[in-house]
Amino acid sequence: MAGTLRDLAQKDLAPKSDAGSRRADRLRRQRRRATLEAFSAPALAFALLAIWQICVPLFNVSEFVLPTPIDILSRVVTDYRLLLTHAWITGAEVVVGFLCAAVVGILVALAVFYSRMVERAVYPLLIAVQTIPKVALAPLVVLYLGYDWGPKLFLSFLISFFPIVVATVVGLKGLDKGYANLVRSMGASEAQVFLKVRLPAALPSIFGSFKVALSLAVIGAVLGEYVAAERGLGYLQLQANANFDVTLNFAAVFVIALLGVALYSIILFVEKVVGDKQGARS
């Protein structure tokens, strides 16, 4: 067995085996290409940061106006305790606001999908309300909900709610009627039609909207903190501005971005788990 394997391996490596070497060549080229593609995004980001890093001293820009990436990073490291306490607050606001938007959004979408009455009455209203810039509501929200968790949660909920409703309705409506008819012909109840066909078919657009909604939820929470807060990364930025501490301001921006990326990755992970479970279900 081992002998035959070695023979095979040798045959594959032999230079006179023309087809074999060509195949190996192609494989090598494919692998090189894949590696290049995988590293292209980080490489570009790194290059841009390097330009930033070089240009600041090159053009004699003061640190108080524009800190270099290394300055910002070292500030993140030294002040990590401060940043973390505020990041917790903002993170909690984003997560709770987003989860409320996801639950309420999907429930509203179901009502719109299953009830013609609700669709006629509520859906046009939703679309109309969506045209109002939520940012413009922030001062009013503070007026009604005060300075505590209220306005931040409400703003991050409000801003991320609409895309979830719309995408879920579109996802549910996009299904070819024939699928529902097929499953009904097997004797399925409407609950089964929903669980076996409608929901799985709508999942890609629901998860797509989750990704959009999450970044919006971050905007909502930080916006709430700009308007009225005593804690959170948005509040920290205002504090840094008041102290002319541009580096800390940038460090807060960096942590906000990090928070968004982390939460986004969680959604990607959940999407993958749900997809795998669906594919493997027996």
Residue 272, token pair as written in the block: 């993958």
Q: Decide: is 60 part of the binding site for other proteins (CB under 8 A).
A: no
20, 208, 260, 275: which one binds other proteins (CB under 8 A): 275
Phi-psi region of 232 (alpha: psi -120 to 50; beta: other; left: phi over 0): left
Q: Decide: is 85 part of the binding site for other proteins (CB under 8 A).
A: no
Nearer to other proteins, 143 or 273 (CB): 273
**Rounded (to 5) percent helix, strand, coil in the chain:** 85, 0, 15
**Under 8 Å between Cβ of 100 and 149:** no
Q: Decide: is 184 part of the binding site for other proteins (CB under 8 A).
A: yes
d(CA 229, CA 238): 10
**Under 8 Å between Cβ of 250 and 52:** no
**Under 8 Å between Cβ of 100 and 157:** yes
Q: Decide: is 12 part of the binding site for other proteins (CB under 8 A).
A: no
Nearer to other proteins, 242 or 280 (CB): 280
- In angstroms, give the least distance from the CB of 277 to other proteins: 10
Nearer to other proteins, 181 or 241 (CB): 181
Q: Decide: is 260 part of the binding site for other proteins (CB under 8 A).
A: no
* Site string (162-181) toward other proteins, x via CB under 8 A: --------------x-xx-x
d(CA 218, CA 97): 9
Q: Decide: is 186 part of the binding site for other proteins (CB under 8 A).
A: yes
d(CA 47, CA 42): 9
193-252: which residues touch other proteins (CB under 8 A)?
196-197, 200
Interface residue list for other proteins (CB under 8 A)? 176, 178-179, 181-188, 192, 196-197, 200, 275, 278-279, 281-282
